Chains A and B, each alone.
Chain A
Amino acid sequence: MEIKDILKKANLEVFSETLQFLAEKDKNIMVVTSDSRGSGKLVPFGQKFPEQIVEVGIAEQNLVGVAAGLASMDKKTFAVSPACFLTARSLEQIKNDVCYSDNAVKLIGISAGVSYGALGSTHHSLHDFAVLRAINNISIVAPADNYETREVIKQATEFQMPIYIRFGKKAMPTDLKNIGQNELVSNENFQIGKGRVIRNGSDLTFIATGEAVLPCVETAKILQDKHQISCKIISMHTIKPLDTDLVLATASNEKPIITVEEHSINGGLGEAVAALLFQNGCRNKFKIIGLPDEHTVSGSQNEIFDHYGISSNGLEKTVLNMLNP
């Protein structure tokens, strides 16, 4: 079966369904939106739980301030807004009202990365990992598939500290672990802060996050079939705190490591992994794949991925260049 045949549902939709499931039993769950309930697939949630959705209008600073206030009154508060606005327009509210004031808001960045590809840079969030990594007291999660999305939303509901979760709107696999397997991997449970090995391999490792994991899975299949190159893939859904044990254990084979993310190459997963490896004396061949420091090309998410080598074409070339310089 081709991978494209199993792409059923956007993580965004899974988020909305999961919240409805949880809100059914928990009246303390509150969802705050900035005229974004349509973009956030939250219309059914609003219809079913009108008392649990708060509209603030197009006012992202107030969105986060209000969410912090609700959370301080023991509401399990999800602040939902496009990632581009949520993590830039209201960054000071995230820093002060949520993180510094220790209000356990769940910040949900929808249509993250270049999901809004053709709408241009105003609507891209390629800075969010970087700015939030530099802020104390917040976890950062980018689920790769429907399974990770559902689990992180469930766990975030009871999370006692601030958390930022971002995902896109393109259909993703139900569970990346179940596709293109070359061998069995352990069936561990999802846990915030613990990376997920979704494919084992011995020649190199992809450490990827969010919707950049899928192209790695596609690439691994091509590399295996065409070149007999065996790739390990880690879905590093949690950027912060980084699963340092898993990264260092992986690096111990001294094979190349490639990080892949839908984010600027500056300040994201790649730099986090690089800093960890270098400070621990690891000297694996290493490459960061992401969006370069330039005005981003316009197009669909797929086209932008392709343009910057985040698709299987580009990743295949990157791997071959690294292994056969």
Chain B
Amino acid sequence: MIETELKEKSRVYRRKILKYIYNAKAGHTGGSLSIIDILNVLYNRIMNVSPENFHSNLRDRYVQSKGHCVEALYVVLADKGFFPEDDLLTLCQYNSPYIGHPTKYIKGMEQNTGGLGHGLPMCSGMALAAKKDNSPVKVFTVLGDGEMAEGSNWEAMMFAAHYKLDNLCAILDYNKLQITAPNAEVMGLEPIDKKLEAFGWAVKHVDGHNLEELTQTLKNLPFETGKPSFLIAHTVKGKGVSYMENVLKWHHGVPTAEQFEQAMEELAADSLSNF
């Protein structure tokens, strides 16, 4: 798949995220827009997972630790053919399985997440199982920057390094904003790279919206043999919609009709150069 096609996917994914959040009048808008390029690359360039091989133990595994940004994941899974995209019109509606966090009710989802600090311990167990079986499976998770304050993450950091889980890759969606305020005000995580290195992980930084850079970096896993890989993806909360970018209220803000229209204009096909 050539670069422009991948870029086009990101643009369309962003439109769809906004469409379904607008329709549902609910969703985690800013974070979904900040992780979507990461998911685009993972599902379309890196991971060996599809509806056809989802029953196979040899599929790669993705667990979204920051479960609240499920809208981005729904849109990508629908595009991959895991379920009909129209299902997403029921997002967050009464009795819909498409709730505001990932669940195994939806084909393509590996674990039920939502509480923070749960993805990395589970992925560590999954990666260890793959090691025990001499399986080629790779395990991926995307963490939020706010959830790095959860102690369970650091328990798992120690564990994954101790067991040399180099088939595990954690990606930090580092948009630097959490629900209350910037991370730096709520609970600073810097110097995050040094902390992770000290915990025994191989760490890289990447522009989390640069599809080519993401692809090249994630194609070269593990970053270091015998160590779990941690990718710090520098992102922008609300990326792609001018009035949402880096604005706190879009953590779970839902656009009005006018705002929605403006967003769709900004994300129209002829606005590709904006990215």
Binds B, one of A65-73, A216-224, A272-280: A65-73
B121 touches A65 (CB 8 A): yes
B125 touches A69 (CB 8 A): yes
Encoded as 1 (CB less than 8 Å from any B CB) or 0, chain A from 90 to 112 comes to: 00110011001111000000000
Contact of B114 among A59, A61, A96 (CB under 8 A): A96
Contact of B104 among A30, A69, A101 (CB under 8 A): A101
The interface residues of chain A lying within 8 Å CB-to-CB of B129 are 30, 69-70, 72-75
Encoded as 1 (CB less than 8 Å from any A CB) or 0, chain B from 112 to 152 comes to: 11110110111111111110110000000000000000011
B32 at interface (Cβ–Cβ under 8 A)? Answer: no
The interface residues of chain B lying within 8 Å CB-to-CB of A57 are 155, 158-159, 162
A73 touches B122 (CB 8 A): no
Interface SS of chain B: helix, strand, loop or mixed?
Answer: helix
The 8 closest A-B pairs by CB, nearest first: A69-B125, A65-B121, A73-B129, A62-B155, A66-B125, A59-B155, A69-B126, A69-B122
On chain B, the number of residues with a Cβ less than 8 Å from chain A's Cβ atoms is: 31
Question: B209 → chain A, closest Cβ, in Å?
Answer: 30
A68 to B127, CA, bound (A): 12
The interface residues of chain B lying within 8 Å CB-to-CB of A101 are 104, 111-112, 122
Interface SS of chain A: helix, strand, loop or mixed?
Answer: helix
Tally the A-B contacts, defined by beta carbons under 8 Å.
Answer: 98
A101 to B124, CA, bound (A): 16
A103 to B103, CA, bound (A): 12
Contact of B118 among A54, A74, A96 (CB under 8 A): A96
The interface residues of chain A lying within 8 Å CB-to-CB of B117 are 61
Chain A: which residue is nearest B120 at the CB level?
A: A65
Chain A: which residue is nearest B110 at the CB level?
A: A72
The interface residues of chain B lying within 8 Å CB-to-CB of A103 are 111
A56 at interface (Cβ–Cβ under 8 A)? Answer: yes
The interface residues of chain B lying within 8 Å CB-to-CB of A254 are none
A61 touches B151 (CB 8 A): yes
* With A61-B152, A92-B115: A73-B159 Cβ-Cβ less than 8 Å: no
B158 touches A97 (CB 8 A): no
B170 at interface (Cβ–Cβ under 8 A)? Answer: no
Offer 17 A-B interface pairs, CB within 8 angstroms, sorted by A: A54-B128, A57-B159, A61-B151, A62-B155, A65-B121, A68-B111, A69-B121, A69-B122, A69-B127, A70-B129, A71-B125, A72-B125, A73-B126, A92-B115, A92-B118, A96-B114, A100-B112
